[in-house]
Chain A
Amino acid sequence: MTNTTNRRNFLKMGAASASVLPFLRAMPATAQGSDTLVVVTGATINSLDLHRTGTSRASYQVGINCYDRLVSFGTKEATGGGLSYDYEVIEPELAESWTESDDGLTLTFKLKSNATFWDGRKVTAADVKWSFDRAVSVGGFPTVQMKAGGLERPDQFIAVDDETFVIKLDRASKLTIPDLAVPVPYVMNSVEALANATEDDPWAMEYLHTTPAGSGAYKVARWTPGEQLVYERNDDWVGGDLPAIQRIVIREVPSPATRRALVERGDVQIAFDIPDKDAAELADVIDVFSTPVENCIHCLCPNFAFEPFQDSNVRKAIAYAVPYEDIFQAAAYGRGLPMWGGEEEINDIAWPRKTQYYTDIEKAKELMAASAYPDGFEVPLSISLDLASWMEPTALLVQEALGEIGITVEIEKIPGANWRTAVLVEKRLPLHLENFGGWLNTPDYYFFWAYQDGHLFNSSNYRNEEVEELTNATLHMPMDDPEYAPKIMRMFEIVLDELPRIPLYQPALNVAANGAEGYEFWFHRQLDSRPLKLT
């Protein structure tokens, strides 16, 4: 063999490199077994920036996996198996420590000195300020969510020096710190963002939409909307324990049947958010985590704008007529928690809680007879076609049961695009199904959205002066305040007696795993990829 390159050698070299090329184009097949985890989901990730208008829920996971917040929640054992985030425990993420002033109006955060963005630049308090300014300024959902924690204006955020960040509050609130741990207030690389901002786009919405610039545990390696998102681990992450998995592929598969086949065969390790039916059937075969969604209740809502529902006896008659157990089995396949047949006396502040109602047709008939409508009436029951999987069986069972007490129900199906306008904004549906779930896990937060007059999820047009007052009083009050528990219990008592929302059951978020462990439930109902491991 000579070292000279003659024509024959050259051709040989060409052939050799040509045969290697295809292997370079494909990821090494062995990678799949050792350090790549595949997740299938039915939802579309349509932006890598949560702050953008129109960002889908599924996209929030990018905010969780690719960005850091100042603080995060702890971990606990979950009801129904697996792990869950722990609302009670706040853990550091970007912040090393924090202090609260005595009046609770000034929060001072000390940032980790070794935290860096992916481009190697140190994370500074100026980045935190810029990111928070952005969240309260861009409008829409991020701004609303920031407001829930009392964070409303840029002048509340002060970068004292590189590692010290201060938040000034207008009033002390127990919701502020937890609100810093939700996906919205994440910290972006402001230098990189500003370099790509324009005069029309001062917050670099267009750039960050497709190019995340964070310090989080995972970087986005590839993103094809409607197909897949590939995460690559950031080995320099200091926000928590370094994730075990090098690469995570989030693959979008719209058909639930296909998702089920894939996870059952073990070709993918996690099927995220599977239907209750599949969860019930797969539970014997592979690992299925059905975690009841915290602070979320599926409700039947009689609207006070519809005259017969202003009669308290009619609402109670409905609450006794509803076939709870049948609904729980038919609509949820027993996944989640029952919300009926509890004690009438209220001794604790756990929410969601079992109501004192149960299925008793005779009692329902007596209540109807005692009402102003002994001969019954006609009413449409509205459901959303997008949520038909639980709403349709529920509506049919409610229709049948209310027929027995003289209420003629006609089921009205509303297209998904129209649903939110009709039920939440116009609040014009006389009888409907609704499922609000609050991110911040306190009863007062639920009441703020679902029972206060004019608020978005109060789709029953309910107004009770005492509830208004109590909700306002408890919303920012610390939970260990001696006045807190009695006030909350009084609120429970009123709304469970007046029934603007009739709780049916607490739904579950179902996740199937085959070859992966460490799944953790989060209130935002998206997959936190960081604690996952392959088995």
Chain B
Amino acid sequence: MLAASPRLRATMLRVAQSIPVVIGVVIISFLLTRALPGDPAVYFAGVAADTESIEQTRVAMGLDKPLVQQFFIYVGNLAQGDLGQSLTSGRSVAADLAKRLPASLELTLSALILAIVIAVPLGVLAATRPGTWVDHLCRVIVTAGVSLPTFFTGILLIYIFYYLLGIAPSPLGRLDFIYLDPDHVTGFYLIDAALMGDWETWVGAAKQLILPATTLALFTLAPIARMTRAAMLTALSSDFIRTARAAGLSSRTVLYRYAFRNALLPVVTTLGMVFSFALGANVLVEKVFAWPGIGSYAVEALVVSDYAAVQGFVLAMALLFVALNLMIDLLYTAIDPRIGFSSK
């Protein structure tokens, strides 16, 4: 079956190639968290701990064992799917990630979709009409988008739309407290609420999402719009477009079928990059909007040297990016048939 389908075989090969990456991530994240300054036993022993109770805490956390032994215990647990217990949240890391990763992904994806919907047409328009007001508008939005830090845009949006105008809902996280969480299926509230047919909650969740997603979208707009514009300009000035025009094809066909499709490759590459840094930039937006996402979780875990949580986070991110890269590669072949997957 594998031989019959070269694409499947290539995909499997690509997945196999990512195994060493994941192993490397496991080792490095383990060593790096141990190299962090600070002694978690002292931190978690509490406010009025004495030397004896700090030692008891250290033993309870298994930190009195040699490093190599700790590593093998960790790997052993990992092999059984146990990511360990987070001390900051008091729950298993796997449960925390299952709860918080979808929250971050929902926010990031909504922001990204919003950004694409605005940025791609804006980029195309700017490229087809260089030097006009559209081009200038594109430039202004893009410059403003990158130059305003997300926490600032976030607080500004809250100030205007919540505090002054009162049209945005309270920035209290994913759902106002009057709603109950939808049953956990995917962890994406919009999808879960829709699956239950609970449109009341769906609207509540969507409302909460608008401001943070806008904040993040403003930030991610810039690279997408700039890249679309640049790629479109290159495509529009290529020989095959001149040929198409000379052949008398309609300007619509030329623009969308020939120029845009060719310009898509760099845009998709940028999207992959933007997605990864948006997931990182999330942390500030999460803090401002009390969004219970993965970014704020990781930062809090780092601050107190919560080893299991940090390792779980790094591992989850690594797996996510391996999957993302694979998806982008597959998307390439779909966009441009000239890119042979198996030849790579």
Q: How far is the CA of A366 from the CA of B292 in the complex (A)?
A: 56
CB <8 Å contact, B198 and A22 = yes
Q: How far is the CA of A417 from the CA of B173 in the complex (A)?
A: 27
CB-contact partner of A27 in B51, B89, B162, B180, under 8 A: B180
Q: How far is the CA of A402 from the CA of B200 in the complex (A)?
A: 62
Interface residues on B, range: 35 or more
CB <8 Å contact, A417 and B40 = yes
Interface of chain A residues 22 through 42 with chain B (CB within 8 A): 22-23, 25-27, 29, 31-32, 38, 40
Residue numbers in B under 8 Å from A44 (CB-CB)? 88-89, 300
CB <8 Å contact, A144 and B53 = yes
Q: How far is the CA of A141 from the CA of B53 in the complex (A)?
A: 7
Q: If the complex has contacts A25-B200, A227-B173, A261-B158, are A416 and B45 also in contact, measured as CB distance less than 8 A?
A: no
Indicate whether B113 reaches chain A with its CB closer than 8 angstroms. Answer: no
Residue numbers in A under 8 Å from B304 (CB-CB)? 416-417
CB-contact partner of A141 in B47, B90, B197, B201, under 8 A: B47
1/0 per position for B77-98, CB-CB distance to A under 8 A? Answer: 0000000000111110000100
Q: How far is the CA of A417 from the CA of B300 in the complex (A)?
A: 10
Interface of chain A residues 262 through 289 with chain B (CB within 8 A): 262, 264-265, 267-268
CB <8 Å contact, B292 and A456 = no
CB <8 Å contact, B287 and A255 = yes
Residue numbers in B under 8 Å from A251 (CB-CB)? 172-173, 177, 290
| Residue among B37, B174, B197, B201 facing the most chain A CB atoms (10 A cut-off) | B37
CB <8 Å contact, B37 and A417 = yes
Residue numbers in B under 8 Å from A456 (CB-CB)? 48-50
CB <8 Å contact, B48 and A449 = yes
1/0 per position for B290-326, CB-CB distance to A under 8 A? Answer: 1010001100100111000000000000000000000
Indicate whether B240 reaches chain A with its CB closer than 8 angstroms. Answer: no
Indicate whether B277 reaches chain A with its CB closer than 8 angstroms. Answer: no
CB <8 Å contact, B90 and A416 = no
Q: How far is the CA of A268 from the CA of B172 in the complex (A)?
A: 10
Indicate whether B199 reaches chain A with its CB closer than 8 angstroms. Answer: yes
Residue numbers in A under 8 Å from B43 (CB-CB)? 417, 420
Indicate whether A202 reaches chain B with its CB closer than 8 angstroms. Answer: no
Residue of chain A at shortest CB distance from B48: A144
CB <8 Å contact, B178 and A55 = no
Residue numbers in A under 8 Å from B300 (CB-CB)? 44
Indicate whether B6 reaches chain A with its CB closer than 8 angstroms. Answer: no
Residue of chain B at shortest CB distance from A230: B177
Indicate whether A252 reaches chain B with its CB closer than 8 angstroms. Answer: yes
CB <8 Å contact, A425 and B163 = no
CB <8 Å contact, B38 and A418 = yes
Indicate whether B76 reaches chain A with its CB closer than 8 angstroms. Answer: no
Indicate whether B70 reaches chain A with its CB closer than 8 angstroms. Answer: no
Min distance, Cβ A344 to any Cβ of chain B, angstroms: 32
CB <8 Å contact, B88 and A140 = no
Q: How far is the CA of A133 from the CA of B100 in the complex (A)?
A: 37
Interface of chain A residues 245 through 259 with chain B (CB within 8 A): 249, 251-255, 257-258
Q: How far is the CA of A425 from the CA of B155 in the complex (A)?
A: 39
Min distance, Cβ A515 to any Cβ of chain B, angstroms: 14
Indicate whether A11 reaches chain B with its CB closer than 8 angstroms. Answer: no
CB <8 Å contact, B38 and A415 = yes
Q: If the complex has contacts A46-B89, A141-B53, A209-B90, are A25 and B198 also in contact, measured as CB distance less than 8 A?
A: yes
Interface of chain B residues 183 through 222 with chain A (CB within 8 A): 197-201, 204
Indicate whether B272 reaches chain A with its CB closer than 8 angstroms. Answer: no
| Residue among A57, A252, A386, A425 facing the most chain B CB atoms (10 A cut-off) | A425
Residue numbers in B under 8 Å from A25 (CB-CB)? 179-180, 198, 200-201
Residue numbers in B under 8 Å from A27 (CB-CB)? 177-180
CB <8 Å contact, B49 and A253 = no
1/0 per position for B100-112, CB-CB distance to A under 8 A? Answer: 1000000000000
Q: How far is the CA of A262 from the CA of B177 in the complex (A)?
A: 13
CB <8 Å contact, B288 and A53 = no
Q: If the complex has contacts A225-B90, A417-B305, are A425 and B42 also in contact, measured as CB distance less than 8 A?
A: yes
Q: How far is the CA of A230 from the CA of B151 in the complex (A)?
A: 28
Residue numbers in A under 8 Å from B286 (CB-CB)? 254
A-B contact pairs, 24 of them (CB 8 A): A21-B198, A54-B57, A55-B46, A140-B46, A140-B57, A141-B47, A141-B48, A144-B50, A144-B53, A209-B90, A226-B292, A230-B177, A252-B173, A253-B172, A255-B151, A255-B288, A261-B171, A262-B171, A265-B163, A386-B303, A418-B37, A420-B42, A421-B38, A456-B50
Query: Top 5 A-B pairs ranked by shortest CB distance?
Result: A417-B38, A141-B46, A22-B200, A139-B56, A54-B44
A sample of 5 more A-B contacts (CB under 8 A), given A54-B87, A418-B38, is A26-B204, A31-B178, A257-B155, A258-B290, A419-B38
